[in-house]
Amino acid sequence: MLDRRKVVFGLSTATLATATLATLVPTSLWAAASIKPDEASALLVIDVQNCFLPGGSLAVKEGEQVVPVINKISKGFANVVMTQDWHTPGHISFASVHSGKKPFETVDLPYGKQVLWPDHCVQGTDGASLSKDLAIPHAELIIRKGFHKDVDSYSAFLEADGKTSTGLAGYLKGRKIKRVFVAGLATDFCVAWTALDARKAGFETYVVEDACRGIDTQGSLAKAWADMAKAGVKRIQSGDIAA
């Protein structure tokens, strides 16, 4: 027979211990491994390509640091999709094709404001290759984007005209994916635009902050996090994900 008083006592002790721990343990530790990717979850590894890594033409500060973090969390995912920025030579997003313009300046294009970049991720070049240090042999799909010469595509879902689909939402829905976890480069461009479009397409969306690095030009990083928070994107750390 259970002694009712003992059960009640035991419970309240546990509750007290929980409350005490919650005040003493930093949130990052307390929340450790609380999210377990399931069959309906996919990891989206965005643009971990040589051009965005040290020595690349559009190197993202500390970009290489995302690689071991992404390799580690990828082990917990049955479904992994990677993306590759994949521009034509002379792509409209390159400053070099706009006379008098320099990288990181902007131009107005028919689909909106476009930040101009150094030439990067040209189709078939070494700079466009995925990092050789990625170790995710179980990734199931590599989606290329930005291959229309006159339209950029930060997002893995929709090109910058806001309407041309890459097919990724259809693919994920066809595979019964409900949740996406976004990691890679760069936080404030391709990661953020992908996460925002994932929300618009109806996916529960997480961005794994320490598995991303940003470019941060003209306040872009703070704006990206604000836009993502407003859209209901959940900001987590790699340690929050169960391996």
- Residues of the shown chain interacting with ligand VGL in the complex, contacts defined by CB under 6 A: 47, 52, 85, 117, 154, 185-186, 189-190
Nearer to ligand VGL, 178 or 199 (CB): 199
Residues 6+ positions from 209 with CB-CB distance below 8 Å: 187, 235, 236, 237
- Whether the CB-CB separation of 58 and 120 falls below 8 Å is answered with yes
Nearer to ligand VGL, 37 or 70 (CB): 70
Beta bridge partners of 82: 45, 142
Choose among ligand VGL, Zn ion, none what residue 203 binds, the Cβ cut-off being 5 to 8 Å by kind.
Answer: none
Residue 212 known to be catalytic? no
Residue whose beta carbon is closest to Zn ion? 85
Q: Tell the smallest beta-carbon distance from residue 119 to ligand VGL (Å).
A: 11
- Do 156 and 143 meet the contact criterion of CB atoms below 8 Å apart? yes
For Zn ion, the binding residue among 52, 53, 85, 215 (CB under 5 A) is 85
Q: Which does 70 bind (CB under 5 to 8 A by kind): ligand VGL, Zn ion, none?
A: none
Q: What sign results for the dihedral spanned by CA atoms 61, 63, 68, 71?
A: positive
Beta carbon nearer to ligand VGL, 193 or 206: 193
d(CA 73, CA 127): 25
Nearer to Zn ion (CB atom), residue 76 or residue 103: 103
Q: Which helix (H) or strand (E) holds 145?
A: strand 141-145
Given the residues 85, 121, 188, 190, the one annotated as active site: 190
The Cα 194–Cα 187 span in angstroms is: 10
133 is catalytic: no
State which of positions 93-122 bind Zn ion (CB under 5 A): none
List active site positions: 47, 145, 190
